[in-house]
Structure 1
Amino acid sequence: MFILIMCISHIFAVFFYFYTNYFNIDMRRIFLIFFACILLSGCATKNDYDSVFANPELYSKAVGELTEVITHDIFTPPVASRIYAYSNIAAYEVMATKSKEFKSLSSKLPGFKSAPLPDKGINTELSALLALSYVGQELTFSKDSVQNIIDDHVQLAINHGMPEEMIEASQNYAKLVSKSVLDWSKKDNYRQTRSAVKYTVNSTDESRWVPTPPAYMPAIEPNWMKIRTVLIDSASQFLPKPPAEFSKVKGTKFYDLALEVYETGKTLTVEQKAIADFWDCNGFKVNVSGHVMYATKAMTPGGHWMGITGIVCKNQKADFGKTVFSYTGVSIGIMDAFIACWNTKFTYDLIRPETYINQHVDNSWKPYLQTPPFPEYTSGHSIISSTSATILEKIYGKNTPFVDDTERAWGWPDRKFESVQQAAQEAALSRLYGGIHYREAMEEGLVEGRKIGEFILGKLY
Structure 2
Amino acid sequence: MRLLLFAILLAGVTSCKQRAADYQQVLHNPVLYSKVTGLLTDVITYDIFTPPVASRIYSYAHLAAFEAMVHGDSSYTSLKGQLKGFNYVLPPDSGKVVDYPYAALMAFMEVGKTLTFSKDQTDKIVDSLKMLAETHGMPAAVKKNSEEYGINVAKAVLAWSKKDNYAQTRSAAKYTVPSDEGKWIPTPPGYFQAVEPHWRTIRTIAMDSSNQFAPPTPCKFGKDSTCPFYKMAKQVQDTGVLLTEEQKAIASFWDCNGFKLNVVGHTMYATKAMTPGGHWMGITGIICESKKADFAKTVYTYTTVSFAVMDAFIACWDAKYTFNLIRPETVINKYMDANWKPFLQTPPFPEYTSGHSIISTAASTVLEHIYGAQTPFRDSTERPWGFPDRNFQSPRQAADEAGISRFYGGIHYRPSIIVARDQGEKVGNYVLSKLSMRKEQLASK
The answer to whether the Cα contact below 8 Å between 1:46 and 1:159 also exists between their aligned partners in 2 is no
1:69 corresponding residue in structure 2:
43
Counterpart of 2:46, as a letter, is H
Give me the whole-angstrom Cα distance separating, in 1, the residues matched to 2:91 and 2:375: 36
Which deviates more, 253-262 or 177-186? 253-262
Counterpart of 1:460, as a letter, is L
2:349 corresponding residue in structure 1:
374
**Residues 42, 343 of structure 1: CA spacing in aligned structure 2 closer, same or farther, 3 A cutoff?**
closer
Compare relative contact order (CA 8 Å, sep 6+) and give the higher one, 1 or 2.
2
Give me the whole-angstrom Cα distance separating, in 1, the residues matched to 2:314 and 2:89: 27
Cα drift, residue 87 of structure 1: 0.3
Q: Does 1:110 align with 2:84?
A: yes
Cα drift, residue 368 of structure 1: 0.2
The answer to whether the Cα contact below 8 Å between 2:256 and 2:275 also exists between their aligned partners in 1 is yes
The answer to whether the Cα contact below 8 Å between 1:93 and 1:114 also exists between their aligned partners in 2 is no
2:441 corresponding residue in structure 1:
none
Cα drift, residue 85 of structure 1: 0.3
The answer to whether the Cα contact below 8 Å between 2:357 and 2:417 also exists between their aligned partners in 1 is yes
Counterpart of 2:245, as a letter, is V
The 5 A counterparts of 1:86-235 are: 86-119=60-93, 120-203=96-179, 205-235=180-210
Secondary structure (helix, strand or coil) at the match of 1:295 reads strand
Give me the whole-angstrom Cα distance separating, in 2, the residues matched to 1:243 and 1:201: 19
Give me the whole-angstrom Cα distance separating, in 2, the residues matched to 1:116 and 1:258: 54
Cα drift, residue 159 of structure 1: 1.0
Q: Does 1:239 align with 2:205?
A: no
Gaps of 5+ in 2: 1-11, 437-445
The 5 A counterparts of 1:281-296 are: 281-296=256-271
Counterpart of 1:312, as a letter, is I
Matching residue within 55, 74, 79 for 2:29? 55
The answer to whether the Cα contact below 8 Å between 1:230 and 1:335 also exists between their aligned partners in 2 is yes
The 5 A counterparts of 1:244-393 are: 244-393=219-368
Give me the whole-angstrom Cα distance separating, in 1, the residues matched to 2:306 and 2:290: 19
Give me the whole-angstrom Cα distance separating, in 2, the residues matched to 1:63 and 1:321: 14
Structure 1 residue ranges (4+ consecutive) displaced by more than 2 angstroms after TM superposition: none
Give me the whole-angstrom Cα distance separating, in 1, the residues matched to 2:267 and 2:201: 37
**Residues 242, 121 of structure 1: CA spacing in aligned structure 2 closer, same or farther, 3 A cutoff?**
same
Q: Does 1:79 align with 2:58?
A: no
Counterpart of 1:88, as a letter, is H
Cα drift, residue 400 of structure 1: 0.7
Counterpart of 1:73, as a letter, is D
Which deviates more, 117-126 or 85-94? 117-126
The answer to whether the Cα contact below 8 Å between 2:243 and 2:408 also exists between their aligned partners in 1 is yes
Secondary structure (helix, strand or coil) at the match of 2:39 reads helix
The answer to whether the Cα contact below 8 Å between 1:104 and 1:114 also exists between their aligned partners in 2 is no
Larger Rg: 1
The answer to whether the Cα contact below 8 Å between 2:233 and 2:328 also exists between their aligned partners in 1 is yes
Give me the whole-angstrom Cα distance separating, in 2, the residues matched to 1:199 and 1:442: 25
Give me the whole-angstrom Cα distance separating, in 2, the residues matched to 1:89 and 1:459: 16
Secondary structure (helix, strand or coil) at the match of 1:102 reads coil
Secondary structure (helix, strand or coil) at the match of 2:187 reads coil
Give me the whole-angstrom Cα distance separating, in 2, the residues matched to 1:202 and 1:382: 25
Calculate the aligned-residue CA RMSD, in Å: 1.2
2:439 corresponding residue in structure 1:
none
Secondary structure (helix, strand or coil) at the match of 1:105 reads coil
Counterpart of 1:133, as a letter, is M
Gaps of 5+ in 1: 5-40
Secondary structure (helix, strand or coil) at the match of 2:80 reads helix
Give me the whole-angstrom Cα distance separating, in 1, the residues matched to 2:97 and 2:414: 54
Cα drift, residue 114 of structure 1: 3.5
1:406 corresponding residue in structure 2:
381
Secondary structure (helix, strand or coil) at the match of 2:255 reads coil
Give me the whole-angstrom Cα distance separating, in 2, the residues matched to 1:315 and 1:251: 50
1:14 corresponding residue in structure 2:
none
Cα drift, residue 361 of structure 1: 1.1
Give me the whole-angstrom Cα distance separating, in 1, the residues matched to 2:17 and 2:360: 48
The answer to whether the Cα contact below 8 Å between 2:104 and 2:150 also exists between their aligned partners in 1 is yes
Give the TM-score normalised by the residue count of structure 2.
0.93
Give me the whole-angstrom Cα distance separating, in 1, the residues matched to 2:296 and 2:280: 19
**Count of aligned pairs:** 420
The answer to whether the Cα contact below 8 Å between 1:326 and 1:392 also exists between their aligned partners in 2 is yes
Cα drift, residue 42 of structure 1: 5.6
Give me the whole-angstrom Cα distance separating, in 1, the residues matched to 2:75 and 2:385: 38
Cα drift, residue 460 of structure 1: 2.6
Secondary structure (helix, strand or coil) at the match of 2:268 reads strand
Give me the whole-angstrom Cα distance separating, in 2, the residues matched to 1:344 and 1:387: 16
Give me the whole-angstrom Cα distance separating, in 2, the residues matched to 1:100 and 1:172: 21
The answer to whether the Cα contact below 8 Å between 2:20 and 2:137 also exists between their aligned partners in 1 is yes
Secondary structure (helix, strand or coil) at the match of 1:416 reads strand
The answer to whether the Cα contact below 8 Å between 1:329 and 1:460 also exists between their aligned partners in 2 is no
Identity of aligned residues (%): 57
Give me the whole-angstrom Cα distance separating, in 1, the residues matched to 2:316 and 2:90: 35
The answer to whether the Cα contact below 8 Å between 2:80 and 2:89 also exists between their aligned partners in 1 is no
Cα drift, residue 98 of structure 1: 1.7
Cα drift, residue 250 of structure 1: 1.4
Give me the whole-angstrom Cα distance separating, in 2, the residues matched to 1:301 and 1:415: 16
Counterpart of 1:53, as a letter, is L
Cα drift, residue 251 of structure 1: 2.5
